Amino acid sequence: MDGDRDQNAIPCDGCIECCKSEQVILRPEAGDDLSTFDFEYIESALYPGRKVPALKRDPQTGNCVYLMADGCAIHGRAPAICRRFHCARTFKALGRLSRAQRDRLWARGDVLEEAIVERGRDRHRLAKALGLDNVLDTDMQVAAFEALAAAPRRR
Ligand code: SF4
Ligand code: SF4
């Protein structure tokens, strides 16, 4: 970390791509209290072979049920993934993989979301311009991507 500067200093500038994701997964081990969220159990490539809790989605829009016209209705108590995830990190982590690994991740179809990766390209460029590239620790994400690239997709 660079002093008290962290990834939150890399602005989203009104983007809501994360809130359109199909997989806003809740993690009690990271402090998420399931009793305080509207959620359902879903399958996820990140947790093969079991179902995991994730925020429900609006059936009309497909967006997170907490996404309102003026932003997140539970800002301040949003799940850990909403506070931890940053597309700039995802993009940077992808850059540490081999071309073959990236191709396998895209081919799986259940790991990468194109809009978020594209937004990550833009936000990573901004992070570098702001001198914040070094706050994006990618080791855990690279390890997860490498494992997923090596594993066949479960049908
Ligand atoms: S995709 Fe990136 S810029 Fe958009 S909301 Fe998510 S973290 Fe922010
Ligand atoms: S809880 Fe808030 S920040 Fe997280 S996906 Fe839903 S609307 Fe977006």
7-16, 36-45, 118-127: which has the minimum mean pLDDT?
Answer: 7-16
The H-or-E segment that residue 101 falls in is helix 99-108
Q: What residue spans of the chain are helical by DSSP H? A: 80-84, 87-94, 99-108, 114-129, 139-150
Q: Ligand 2: which residues within 6 Å by Cβ? A: 18-19, 24, 55, 64, 66-67, 72, 74, 78-79, 82
Report the C-alpha gap between 41 and 55 in whole angstroms: 9
pLDDT in tens, 31-68: 999 999 999 999 998 898 899 999 999 999 999 999 99
Check: CB of residue 77 under 8 Å from CB of residue 37.
no
Distance in Å, CA 11 to ligand 1 centroid: 8
Query: Which numbered ligand comes closest to the C-alpha of 55?
Result: 2
Q: pTM for the complete prediction?
A: 0.91
Best probe residue, ligand 2, of 27, 55, 63 (max atoms within 8 Å of C-beta): 55
